[in-house]
């Protein structure tokens, strides 16, 4: 198949729903915004022909954050399930897609050298995991609900509970980095980063829905978060800002 025919299989990203590069309410965006207009470059066969993953690339516990870093017992916090499907812009399931997540622990602290929040680290929680989507595009994580945490933006700004996602699709042009929030969290509407997403439908696609049907009795609640790679219904691309 020629590269032009491969390229036609991917719809352009919808930049109309993306936040502007700098937003005064999100103060650090003023320092990190590009000073010149961004360039749009069509993907080449290199970006369209990979990556590829197999179950042999993963550890059997990579998807279970309640066990993959446990040393002396289970981590502290509310046990939850995060699940959903990965589909493309034409609503077709995407199998064997690598889905990676990272998050703060139940106290709102990351296992990172530069995280100085006073909440303690959990010795049994590493805060990261990965899995591959199934043949129907489905994926599944077991984890701990992350806690909110303060951040140096305004005097008393707090990030809502969230989980970071990085998805490597069937081609590098389907690469997606985004965040997932939880339905009903009152901090979502107060967050300066969330507020940069002016399109309400785009913001809605960043919120996981409580799913009682996937919850496990006497074990954990569940949240559903479907992922759309590219197209008009795609999730906001966290690291790609509009021109």
Q: What is the pLDDT along the chain (243 residues), one digit of tens a residue?
A: 233 333 345 666 677 777 878 888 898 888 888 888 777 777 788 777 778 888 999 999 999 999 999 999 999 999 999 999 999 888 889 999 999 999 999 999 999 999 999 999 999 999 999 999 999 999 999 999 999 999 999 889 999 999 999 999 888 888 899 999 999 999 999 999 999 998 889 899 999 999 999 999 999 999 999 999 875 455 554 544 443
Domains (ranges, CATH) in the chain? 53-240 (2.60.130.10)
Whether the full predicted model's pTM is greater than 0.75, yes or no, is: yes
159 carries an active-site annotation: yes
Active site residue 110: yes
Going by C-alpha positions, the residue among 137, 149, 60 that lies closest to residue 109 is 149
| Residue 162: active-site member | yes
Q: How far apart are CA 76 and CA 203, in angstroms?
A: 30
pLDDT at 233: 52
Task: Say whether 69 is catalytic.
Answer: no
Predicted local distance difference test score (pLDDT) of residue 235: 59
- The residue from 10, 26, 139, 149 that is catalytic is 149
Of 10, 26, 110, 181, the catalytic one is 110
Q: Given the residues 13, 85, 142, 164, select the one marked as catalytic.
A: 164
138 CB burial (10 A radius; 0-12, 13-18, 19+): middle
């Amino acid at each position: 198949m020629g590269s032009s025919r491969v390229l036609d299989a991917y719809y352009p990203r919808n930049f109309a729903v993306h936040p502007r590069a700098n937003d005064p309410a999100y103060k650090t965006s003023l320092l990190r915004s590009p000073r010149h207009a961004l360039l749009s470059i069509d993907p080449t066969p290199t970006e369209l022909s990979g990556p590829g993953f197999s179950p042999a690339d993963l550890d059997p516990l990579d998807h279970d954050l309640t066990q993959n870093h446990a040393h002396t017992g289970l981590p502290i916090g509310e046990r939850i399930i995060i699940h959903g499907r990965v589909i493309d812009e034409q609503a077709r399931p995407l199998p064997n897609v690598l889905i990676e997540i990272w998050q703060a622990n139940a106290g709102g602290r990351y296992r990172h050298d530069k995280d100085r929040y006073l909440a303690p680290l959990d010795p049994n929680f590493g805060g990261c995991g990965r899995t591959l989507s199934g043949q129907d595009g489905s994926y599944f994580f077991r984890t701990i609900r992350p806690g909110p945490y303060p951040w140096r933006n305004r005097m008393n700004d707090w990030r809502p509970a969230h989980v970071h996602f990085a998805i490597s699709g069937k081609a590098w042009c389907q690469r997606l980095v985004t965040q997932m929030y939880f339905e009903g969290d009152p901090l979502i509407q107060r967050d300066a980063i969330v507020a940069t997403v002016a399109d309400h439908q785009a913001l809605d696609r960043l919120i996981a829905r409580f799913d009682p049907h996937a919850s496990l009795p006497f074990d954990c609640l569940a949240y559903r978060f479907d992922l759309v790679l590219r197209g008009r219904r795609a999730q906001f691309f966290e690291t790609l800002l509009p021109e």
